[in-house]
Amino acid sequence: MIKKIAFTFAIGIAFMSAQAQDKTDVLRYSELNPGGSSRAQAIGGATGSIGGDYSSIFSNPAGVGFFKSSELAFSLDFQQANNKSTYLNTNGSDNKGNFNIGSVGLILASPRRNPNSKWQNITLGLGYSRQANFNQNIYYRGRNNTSSIGSQYVSNLNGVDTASVYDGAYAFGPLEAVKTGFLSGNFDNAGNPLHTWTTISPYDDPAGAGVLQENSIYTSGRSEIYSLALGTNYADKFYIGGSLNMPHIEYERNSVFRETNDQHYQYLGYTMNYYESSTYLNTTGNGFQANLGVIYRPIPALRVGATFISPMWLSMHDSYYGNYTTSDNTGTYTASTLDEDEYNAPVESHYNIRTPWRGIVSAAYVFTPKDNNIRKPSGFLTVDYEYEDYASSSLKFKNGLSDDNQSSNLVQSDIKSSYQSASNIRAGGEIKIDIWAFRAGFAYYGNPYATGGLDGSRKFYSGGLGYRNKGFYADLTYVYMNQNLLDQPYAVGSDQPNTPTPAPASIKANTSNVSLGIGFKF
């Protein structure tokens, strides 16, 4: 185990983004979706002050105090993730569907014990919610006649002699490229090494067609939370609640980059058929979080709320490896980072993540007919404003190595310079006529990026239908999300000024989520 961990940190910082343990991990586990019950999703996740829905367990636990009867409910979700890409003026696309349990809630309401007390009830809530779904496929391709992924490896090995290249510091790309013949060392006329390297990729063949580059990224997993909440009600005007939460993370990513010489060009005496880099990452994590919230009703129709959501303190474990293949006119050659370990085991790493804290202020207006006739429209409008500071996140390595602190400080500096605070707004409403309810919502999650002109904002559009009658209810909800992403397949160093880094792939990502909720009051 110590050897595997040490090998992890022998890897140069230039290769870390291909594996894990960097600022992107912190952002991935900090960005959450409007979740909870199907009803909550239909109103954009704006449950900070409305109360009376088991989603209050995860948002503002003071809302649990609205319950005066017990309830058991769950939601089943199906998500379809569609991605359209553009890379080097070429279009690509991929998609992935996923069925999952979106949430479960159990509300246990206690009766009012002292008729002379203004404290109406104390209510316990137990819940599970999927906060983020990592299931998606991304594919892009394009023809490149100005650089190769081998150009990045050439930069990585600039100044490295042919003996030192076999140090584990150059694994996850450059080392395996040398082993498989995708890279070769340069020598002078006397046979002395020049400490420079050349790739056999014929991307700059004079014919100009270049090589075909393809990147497939397959991800799966989830961020979920298990919660215990307690809420109480004072005179039906003031509600206070808190929750203890146990987040759990599971994430897998398999990335396959392939470069094909489909024009059969020759270079340096070789006819490269293809080069392929395949990396696999598995991440698991567990942690702790706490919520504290209040809701106040100055008049029966108006509700205002405030919630403080602590950071998630996560203990994370990564396991990852890479497989590499070069095929040319002399044969097909393979290498793996598993070869660097005497047990053929993946590289492992342990680290802690602290996500941003979040503050939410919210308001809801509830309207009912004066004569309480259920056949006349009733309903509510609700809005949440949420603030979170992504730059306050942190990542700290816990591998028991001497350079843990130095590596942590490098990542921390990158987090502070790359991310910023963001404002999130959620709004929704419901109109109820007799036993039927009609809902709509919208959520906007602000841009976490501070640099590079990147826009990572997300927009969610939702709507749904509900049925409630005699202690049973059912909800059907549709949520659509869109977001623009960028993915950089590789980067060429400044030592090759005439070999530019390709522009990143532009990805238009959207997800459609259908949620069915079922609940019983007892």
| Residue type at 50 in one-letter notation | I
Long-range (24+ apart) CB contacts under 8 A made by 117-122 are 118/234, 118/235, 119/232, 119/233, 119/234, 120/65, 120/68, 120/232, 120/233, 120/234, 120/235, 120/236, 121/65, 121/67, 121/68, 121/232, 121/233, 122/65, 122/230, 122/231, 122/232
Which 3-state string (H, E, C) describes 239-304? EEEEEEEEEEEEEEEEEEEEEECCCCCCECCECEEEEEEEEEEEEEEEEEEEEEEEEEEEECCEEE
Q: In this predicted model, what pLDDT tens digit does every residue of 211-230 receive, in sequence order? A: 999 999 999 999 999 999 99
Instruction: Calculate mean pLDDT across residues 9-34.
Output: 66
Q: In the predicted model, what is the mean pLDDT of residues 95-101?
A: 94
Q: 7 or 112, which is more confident?
A: 112
| Averaged pLDDT for residues 53-72 | 95
Q: Residue 117 contacts by C-beta under 8 Å, 6 or more apart in sequence?
A: none
**pLDDT tens-digit map of 311-333:** 999 999 999 999 999 999 999 99
pLDDT per position as a tens digit, 363-373: 999 998 887 77
- Contact between 148 and 199 under an 8 Å Cβ cutoff? The reply is yes
CA distance 42 to 156: 49
- CATH number of the domain located at residue range(s) 2-118+126-192+200-521 in this protein: 2.40.160
pLDDT of residue 20: 52
**Residue among 299, 238, 292, 304 nearest 50 (CA):** 304
**C-alpha to C-alpha distance for 112 and 122, rounded to whole angstroms:** 8
What pLDDT was estimated at residue 5?
35
d(CA 261, CA 97): 33
pTM: 0.90
User: What is the pLDDT averaged over residues 384-406?
Assistant: 94
Do residues 64 and 50 lie in contact, with contact meaning Cβ atoms separated by under 8 Å? no
More confidently predicted of 512 and 10: 512
Top-confidence residue, 118 or 176? 176
Domain ranges of the chain: 2-118+126-192+200-521
* 45 backbone φψ class: left, alpha, beta (φ>0; ψ -120 to 50): left
- Provide DSSP, 57-107: GTS-GGGGGG--S-EEEEEEEEEEEEEEEEETTEEEEEEEEEEEEEEEEEE
d(CA 330, CA 296): 76
Find the mean pLDDT for residues 99-111: 94
Instruction: Please tell me whether residue 13 adopts helix, strand or coil conformation.
Output: helix
Render pLDDT for 267-312 as a digit per residue (tens, 0 to 9): 888 999 999 999 999 999 999 999 999 999 999 999 999 999 999 9
What pLDDT score was predicted for residue 344? Answer: 77
Task: Please report which confidence band the pLDDT of residue 10 belongs to, taking 50, 70 and 90 as the band edges.
Answer: very low
Q: What is the reported pLDDT for 116?
A: 79
4 pLDDT tier (thresholds 50, 70, 90): very low
Query: What average pLDDT does range 421-425 have in this prediction?
Result: 97
* Statement: residue 112 has pLDDT above 80: no
- 384 compared with 9, residue with greater pLDDT: 384
Tell me the mean pLDDT in the region 450-459: 87
CB atoms inside a 10 Å sphere around CB 369: 11
Q: Which residues contact 231 (CB under 8 A, 6 or more apart)?
A: 56, 61, 62, 63, 64, 65, 66, 67, 122, 123, 125, 239, 240, 241
